[in-house]
Copies of this chain bind each other. A is one copy, B any other.
Amino acid sequence: MDLLTVIGIILAFVAIIGGNALEGGHIDSLLQLTAFMIVIGGTIGAIMIQVPMATFMRSLKMLMWVFLPPKLALNETIEKIIEWSNVARKEGLLGLEQVVETEPDEFARKGLQLLVDGSEPETIRNILEVELATKEERDGAASKVFEGMGGYAPTIGIIGAVMGLIHVMNNLADPSKLGSGIAVAFVATIYGVGSANLLFLPMASKLKSHVQRSAKYREMVIDGIISIAEGENPRNIESKLQGYL
């Protein structure tokens, strides 16, 4: 559970809603269904036009990473790789055959299989790097979905506000409603700027961090697998992989 995300969301909303209440603003004046519909509907519509289906679906799946980050136990993985290198030293690369079946991480399993197949180190690196790049691009594109929404929301908020102001301007005859009309129009701005800066943009950045951490983790796995293929001694492998921590 990503505590920081939870605390951050609570803190931001308490600060802003609470601050508004202390200033004497009523929460009612900030709740407006049409503004919500314009900003959220417009933003989701824009992002659907923007991305291919696969990226859109992937971004929905990745959304939970904001609260439940993917587990990447770098320390344990280093220990596992050292163990594999010991197995390979004692029993030869074929000794890793049993390990392949029990390894839960799909990426490491592919690397181990290539080791067992006796592929050249250079070949293993090529194959694994293509896979790393593909996964990183796919997840990077998905994390940009929220960045895109963070870009559209404020401008669509402005569209909502300007439409509201047009409505007000067309009814200037009744000045008593001028103030509340403008107030209603401004709510769309708050929804746009607020959703972008308190949800979409920070979430996109957190997802991007996880994508980079995963890529780093996979780079470490590649480095370890290649070192085993090249028959480096376990102590050197440990020394190198420690650098990733």
Contacts and interface: CB of A to CB of B under 8 A. Distances in A.
Which of A155, A163, A196 has its CB near the most chain B CB atoms (within 10 A)? A163
A15 B30 contact: no
Given A123-B236, A169-B179, A169-B180, A16 B49 contact: no
A34 B20 CA distance: 7
**Which secondary structure dominates chain A's binding surface?**
helix
A92 interface: no
B162 A199 contact: no
A98 interface: no
Contacts of A193: 155, 158-159, 162
Contacts of A156: 16, 197-198
Nearest to A22: B34
Copies of this chain held together in the complex = 5
A37 B25 CA distance: 15
A75 interface: no
B172 A179 contact: yes
Nearest to A141: B209
A166 interface: yes
A45 B236 contact: no
B202 A167 contact: no
Q: Which 9 A-B pairs have the closest CB atoms?
A: A15-B41, A12-B45, A8-B48, A172-B179, A131-B243, A19-B38, A49-B202, A130-B243, A50-B202
Interface of A: 2-5, 7-16, 18-20, 22-26, 29-30, 33-35, 37-38, 40-42, 44-53, 55-56, 66, 69, 110, 114, 119, 123, 126-128, 130-131, 134, 137, 141, 148, 151-152, 154-156, 158-160, 162-173, 178-180, 182-184, 186-187, 189-190, 193-194, 196-199, 201-203, 205-206, 209-210, 212-213, 216, 223, 236, 239-240, 242-245
